[in-house]
Amino acid sequence: MSSKESCRIELRTAIRQLSDRCLYSASKWAAEQLVGIEQDPAKFTPSNTRFQRGSSSIRRRFRTNEITSTPPTGVAYVSTPVMEEDEAIHGDFYLLAKSYFDCREYRRATHVLRDQTGKKSVFLRCYALYLAGEKRKEEEMIELEGPLGKSDAVNRELVSLERELATLCKNNTIDPFGLYLYGLVLKEKGNENLARKVLVESVNSYPWNWSAWSELQSLCTTVDILNRLNLSNHWMKEFFLASIYQELRMHNESLSKYENLQGMFTFSNYIQAQIAKARYSLREFEQVEVIFEDLLRNDPYRVEDMDTYSNVLYTKECFSALSYLAHRVIMTDKYRPESCCIIGNYYSLKGQHEKSVVYFRRALKLNKNYLSAWTLMGHEYVEMKNTPAAVDAYRRAVDINPRDYRAWYGLGQAYEMMGMPHYALHYFRKSVFFQPIDSRLWIAMAQCYESEQLHMLEEAIKCYKRAANCNDTEAIALHRLAVLHRELDQPEEAAFYYKKDLERMEAEEREGPNIVEALMFLATHYKTQKKFEEAEVYCTRLLDYTGPERETAKSLLRGMRIAQSGFPSMDVEHFHP
Amino acid sequence: MAGVVKAPGAFAITPHKVSVCILVNIYASPSQISVPFPFSSVSQHNRLGLYLLALTKSCDDILEPKLDQLINQLREIGGLLDHWLTDHVTSRLSSLSSPDDLFNFFNELRETLGGPDSGVMEDDQVILDPNSNLGMFLRRCILAFNLLTFEGICHLLTNIGIYCKEAISSCSSYELRRVDNSGNDLESLSEYENMDLNLVFKKINEEMEARKRATEQVSFHLHLPKELSTLVEDIEVFADPKSEHNDKGRESSSYASGELLRDVDPNGGVHFLRYLNNLYHDDYFSALENLHRYFDYRSYLLEINHSDKFWQNSAGTEGFDFVPPAGCNSFGRYEIALLCLGMMHFHFGHPKKALEVLTEAVRVSQQHSNDTCLAYTLAAICNLLSEIGFSTTSGILGSPFSPMISVGTSLSVQQQLFVLLKGSLKRAESLKLKQLVAANHLAMAKFDLTHVQRPLLSFGPKTSMKLRTCPIIVCKELRSGYHLISEFCCEGSTMTADGAFSTAWLKNLQKPMGSLVLSQDNGSRNNSNPFLFFTQPSSIPGSVMQLVGSSYLHRATAWEIYGSAPLARVNALVYATCFADASSSSDAALVHVKLIQHLAVFKGYKEAFAALKTAEEKFLCVSKSRILILKLQLLQERALHRGHLKLAQQVCDELGVLASSVTAVDMELKTEASLRHARTLLAAKQFSQAAAVAHSLFCMCYKFNLQVESATVLLLLAEIHMKSGNAVVGLPYALASLSYCQTFNLDLLRASATLTLAELWLSLGSYHAKTALTLLHGAFPMILGHGGLELCARAYITEAKCYLSDPSFSVSKNPELVLDPLRQAADELQPLEHHELMAEAFYLMAIVFDKLGQPEQREEAASSFKNHLTLNRRHRLKREKRKSTTSDLEKYGLYFFNPNLIINC
């Protein structure tokens, strides 16, 4: 069990090493966690802790059980290794190369390091070469842009990089950073198994490189793969697990991991944002909003993850808050995909779908693989009734991440709109496969089955049943179940579901025609069943409502009374005035 | 005019086009002599010109040949010049090392073109007319180059580098001439070389070829779903002989296709190709996935890009008579997606699902008023209905079809199919979809072949109708199928504008012409005259050839059913000789099957098995291929004749297994398997079991309306009863079979039913011998003219028996009347190794000789009889565990001949 202090020391060294190798985003991440560790209030003046002030309020509000102990992360047997430094003369070249690198002159950096053999230099050379290739690839993408921005540009350096790194790997003269790069290259080349293996090796020998963990995460698409990974214990692994659980839609597990981690990294904005995202997936919008507000107070120029915040605001239809957020991110950084996405959300909320699409498009220009932007753009196209475009957008989303159930759902919806319910079913099936606990998906599928073209009521009933089992907030499923059973001439089942629906509506204190319908059915049903007592209860309740049902209830009551008083064969209608 | 006028965006300059430009430049180099420098004769010059014409036309294809392919083609046409040409092209290409070289090159090209005002022309000067085909091509290339941005030019340069490199890495005989220029491009290029990508590239080429085929043929497959599978098989068959690493390479090929094909066609064609690949590998889920993905992307693309090439070639149905509707309505081609999905389900053996999807396709096509697609969908439904044999359709064809079948739901499935077929034909005709019309005619013919026409109305005044199938209608339908080819022949000139045909044309270069059917040398390329393809009168697209070919196949089948063996054989031969090149592998296999079956029936097993061997080499035995089935059939028949009953049963069981595979139950095969089972039981003299099997089989045939099969089964039942000594019971079956045969015009089967009837009469007693003989003589012309060896032999033996049992017939007076047919029978049975019948023949012969008092000949016949008897009985006795103690001739005679045989001297 590592103490806060040792964590701090590890991170500090790691940050230096990472930024020395120009792995900036990993070092940024590490630094964020470093300051996230709770400081010993005795040692520091208030000015030092100023940074960490705000977040406690939210914890007070939402934490029921304060976690007292830090998580059992196991023994961190990897202490920060001291990387060997290249000799002084080579060190000079390294400094030059690093400066070039910092100025984004990657090929120059590569060239400076061409004859260097130290591990650090080799890594930087390869990394610079990789980035040079990536940069060229991005440029080519625009140059060779095919229809709809599809293009086939590839990083042309991958082949040589793979060869060189493979040789290094074989000769065992590769450091964890080299392994990370090797994994990256392998992944791009599509050799996922080897990439996974190499990345595991990298994070096992140097766990503080968050970029390596992220790459590894993108390669673990199922729980099985995750369980097969042979990862050694380290507190970094907890971060990884928390993040991957979220990716694999194990939101509760993820949340508990993050909350554990928060014990040590109390003030980490990163963790806070991740918790917010997890809660967002659990649809706890109120809490998410509070967390994000808090986060923005501490870190006002943050753009990362703010798209999730904007989604929350969108769902809650907070026009002004959303516009405020959009304004804020625009001022911070206009050309971030997240910023564009937030603006897109804003316009969408305002019902200006054309403008919204423009901004989503911009977001996608900035990051082709921005999953949620594709999906959201699909939604916009659906709103604009441009189904082919919507289909295309959704399809890109699922091609980026096949587990994105929203996009599958969108595809289904689009095809359903075009009057192709059978075709749509394929997509709905996909969607529920990846998110079986969402009642809305089941309901959509059921409606598809119910459509007049298919009219497969049995299947629809099955779907509604699933929907009813997974917390159908809008209470559509129960009602539809009842109606369908009634249509199929199964009064017992219909009565069962009407009753359930009624109970539910009572519990939620809902009003509406559904109640009358349910009461009406139950009353007549019990009457034909000769269960007069129940029938009477429902009839009496019907009397509270106005309209023709009331009259029917009256006559029913009358009929029952007559039947009970010894004229069983008499028809009610005869006595109707 | 498709293929000539295209949006400038669609015509991109590629390395291949650059090399074509180089060749054009050679062809039309601005010189003063009539035959420019490298050419030695005018004909040589013209040859290159023709080749270039074909090349430029095929430039609109999706995939362009690699440099080595081009070099190979050049080698074929270049003759003596081949080295000079290839060297020139490669050196010219590799001299392009900077963007400026490209600029200069295209400037040079411009000089080749005569200006618009080139009125002043010297007599012998070769100048390219800017409005000629080649001139247009050059102009388009130059225009496309001028439209390129500088980055675009850089990319072109890089691509030319790769293009050269690939050629060099795959054909080492051409040395690397490329001047090394610095830069990373080259470095990455050398990587390609080092990585030993040859295999991968090879695979890619194959995939590309496959795709080319796909694009050529999809139009056809749209309406004949069965062909979908065929097509895919084609791809594989096409690929197999080329690479030995096929099995190993399969996985890598999918990897390669995923990895590398991505940059072949960004428009999503890859997904379709992958779909086809999955289809071939029977990977349902991936196929489903890729099909959906393909159409998800495609539909939107179509929105944007009307002149999408892929569309024109694939769904564009017949290339030229499809005119994309002017105002492409805002909904994409979703109905086509449904159509494909339906056909996919059908392919995977989910007819019910397929029908659901196709129903939706009908609805959506109607909704989007896409009549073409509707016509194809209807045709697909017809095909589905006729293929699945009506076993599962009851209840599916319900309400959704009522808009089309307004007649109501009281119709049987067959009647619904008939109505659908009619409707589909009408639709296709009104839309002028020639291929679909032809295909529909074929389907109609198929329907008429096996279905009696009945009045559709179940009430009201009925027109008098003979309840028979009508061969004339079948022939008419088949004939109208042929019209297709004549239409294509007349329109030859307009057609050549299409790129696909030229590609087919180019491809013929590699194919030996007039490949011999069943010949041992199935790959000799020496005899292929490189200029033969120029002499081809017109290039008819492969799909049309295929369709016309399949009409010949239908013809062959029709004649088979109607019982004219020579005509069936002739039609099969016509198919095999004229359409072998264009045929799909399953059709080709089918025709081989037909010919081999014919051999087996008329020439005996030895020849049939020899032919089968060649066929097996030709068609790789995919599981459940026709060839495999044929092999089992032949084995079973031979075993039955030889008396290896155990083996026969075993083979029969294997057939049964093939019939009900995972995908779907093949009714035809299932019927056949149980028919053979009953036959085997009959041969084993287990009459009651045989009768039970045959009976249940008849019930099945009746249930699923397999009427032609019913006739056969009834005949078999008659035989079973006859053999079990119950001739009286057998008679009604034989008569029923006869009436079936009459209804369906099954002449040969009718003749054999008559024969059985004669046998039955005969076994009723010698009193009926005359009747039997009359019956037999009535059937004789048909039997001898069209029947196989066994049938003829049986007829001869029966004839002899009739004479022998006739009380008024005397052997001694007219011995040849009996001996002659018996000898004939023995001769004909020899190649079939049918020991039982042969024993019978020799037995009769021996008796006749005995009565005639010719002991020597009697002994000879008797010993042959014994021989065959032991050969036949050995297995049977083993099986029945009977002891063979009797060697007495008479006893054997009693063993299997009826006692009614009275021989008069």
Residue-wise pLDDT for B613-653, tens only, equals 888 877 765 555 778 888 888 888 888 888 888 888 888 88
Question: Which residue from A minimizes the CA distance to B299?
Answer: A388
Question: In the predicted model, what is the mean pLDDT of residues B774-802?
Answer: 87
In total, the C-beta contacts within 8 angstroms joining chain A to chain B are 93
Contact B360 A420 (CB under 8 A): yes
Residues B781, B816, single domain; the answer is no
Burial B86-116 (b: 16+ CB within 10 A, else e): bebbbebbbebeeeeebeebbeebeebbbee
Q: Identify the CA nearest to A270 among candidates A518, A535, A37.
A: A37
Query: Which residues is B113 bridged to in the sheet?
Result: B128
Q: What percent of chain B has pLDDT over 90?
A: 2
Residues B42, B68, single domain; the answer is yes
Task: Report, in angstroms and rounded to the nearest whole number, the Rg of chain B calculated over CA atoms.
Answer: 33
Contacts of B158 in chain A (CB under 8 A): none
The count of other CB atoms within 10 Å of the CB of residue B632 is: 22
Please report the domains of chain A, with CATH numbers, ordered by start residue: 289-401 (1.25.40.10), 487-564 (no CATH)
Residue B88, pLDDT > 80, answer yes
Given this model, what pLDDT does residue B431 score?
77
Best to test chain A binding among B271, B300, B366 (most A CBs inside 10 Å)? B300
Residues B22, B158, single domain; the answer is yes
Interface of A with B (CB under 8 A): 140, 143-144, 146-148, 150-152, 154, 156-157, 159-160, 163, 190, 386-389, 391-392, 394-395, 399, 411, 415, 418-423, 426-427, 453
Residues B20, B164, single domain; the answer is yes
Specify if B382 maps to a domain. Answer: no
Residue B338, pLDDT > 60, answer yes
Specify if B247 maps to a domain. Answer: no
Nearest Cα of chain B lies from the Cα of A411 at a distance, in angstroms, of 9
Contact B300 A426 (CB under 8 A): no
Q: Spell out the residues 6+ positions from residue A421 whose beta carbon is closer than 8 angstroms to its own.
A: A415, A448, A449, A451, A453, A454, B360
C-alpha to C-alpha distances, A258 to A215, A221, A241, A268, B517, nearest whole angstrom: 20, 20, 9, 11, 74
3-class SS of residue A144:
coil
Contact B258 A190 (CB under 8 A): yes
Comparison of pLDDT for B236 and A106, the residue scoring more: A106
Residue from the list B300, B304, B357 with its beta carbon closest to the beta carbon of A422 = B357
As a whole number of angstroms, the distance between CA B342 and CA B28 comes to 52
Specify if B36 maps to a domain. Answer: yes
When divided into structural domains, chain B yields a total of 3
Residues B773, B832, single domain; the answer is no
Q: Spell out the residues 6+ positions from residue A12 whose beta carbon is closer than 8 angstroms to its own.
A: A34
Q: Identify the CA nearest to B772 among candidates B667, B898, B669.
A: B898
Contacts of B364 in chain A (CB under 8 A): 418-420
Beta-sheet strands, E only, within B268-345? none
Contacts of A411 in chain B (CB under 8 A): 296
Query: Which amino acid, one-letter code, is at B530?
Result: P
Residue B195, pLDDT > 60, answer no
Specify if B107 maps to a domain. Answer: yes
Contact A150 B191 (CB under 8 A): no
Please, which pLDDT band fits residue B293 given cuts at 50, 70 and 90? confident
Given this model, what pLDDT does residue B214 score?
38
Residues B19, B164, single domain; the answer is yes
Interface of B with A (CB under 8 A): 149, 151-152, 155, 184-185, 187-188, 191-192, 195, 255, 258-259, 262-263, 266-267, 288, 292-293, 296-297, 299-305, 330-332, 334, 337-338, 341, 356-357, 360, 363-364, 367, 400
Best to test chain B binding among A114, A134, A423, A456 (most B CBs inside 10 Å)? A423
Specify if B544 maps to a domain. Answer: no
CB B219 within 8 A of CB B314: yes
Query: Which amino acid, one-letter code, is at A389?
Result: A
Contacts of B286 in chain A (CB under 8 A): none
Task: Report, in angstroms and rounded to the nearest whole number, the Rg of chain A calculated over CA atoms.
Answer: 31
Residue-wise pLDDT for B113-170, tens only, equals 765 554 455 555 556 777 788 888 888 888 888 888 888 888 888 888 888 887 766 5
Range of the domain at B836: 799-889
Specify if B284 maps to a domain. Answer: no
Residues B862, B718, single domain; the answer is no
Residues B152, B94, single domain; the answer is yes
Q: Identify the CA nearest to B451 among candidates B792, B180, B707, B718.
A: B707
Given this model, what pLDDT does residue B180 score?
36
Given this model, what pLDDT does residue A259 score?
92
Contacts of A157 in chain B (CB under 8 A): 184, 188
Instruction: Show which of B787, B812, B834 is a domain's final residue.
Output: B787
Residue from the list B149, B188, B297 with its beta carbon closest to the beta carbon of A395 = B297
As a whole number of angstroms, the distance between CA A213 and CA A243 comes to 10
Residues B763, B807, single domain; the answer is no
Comparison of pLDDT for B662 and B415, the residue scoring more: B415
- The burial class, CB within 10 Å (0-12 / 13-18 / 19+), for A19 is middle
Given this model, what pLDDT does residue A548 score?
80
Contact A420 B184 (CB under 8 A): no
Contacts of A418 in chain B (CB under 8 A): 331, 334, 364
Contact B293 A453 (CB under 8 A): no
Positions of chain A with pLDDT lower than 50, given as ranges: 1, 48-78, 148, 569-577
Comparison of pLDDT for B241 and A551, the residue scoring more: A551
3-class SS of residue B835:
helix
Residues B97, B163, single domain; the answer is yes
Specify if B619 maps to a domain. Answer: no
CB B389 within 8 A of CB B668: yes
SS3 content of chain A, % helix, strand, coil (to 5): 70, 0, 30
Question: Which residue from B minimizes the CA distance to A146?
Answer: B266
Nearest Cα of chain A lies from the Cα of B292 at a distance, in angstroms, of 9
Given this model, what pLDDT does residue B111 score?
78
Residue from the list B155, B305, B360 with its beta carbon closest to the beta carbon of A423 = B360
Give the highest mean pLDDT range of B345-354, B394-403, B516-525.
B345-354
Residues B714, B839, single domain; the answer is no
Contacts of B299 in chain A (CB under 8 A): 388, 391-392
Contacts of A394 in chain B (CB under 8 A): 296
Given this model, what pLDDT does residue B235 score?
34
Given this model, what pLDDT does residue A242 score?
94
Specify if B653 maps to a domain. Answer: no
Residue B53, pLDDT > 90, answer no
Residues B779, B810, single domain; the answer is no
Residue B533, pLDDT > 70, answer no
Mean pLDDT check: name the lowest of A196-210, A368-382, B446-460, B856-870. Answer: B446-460
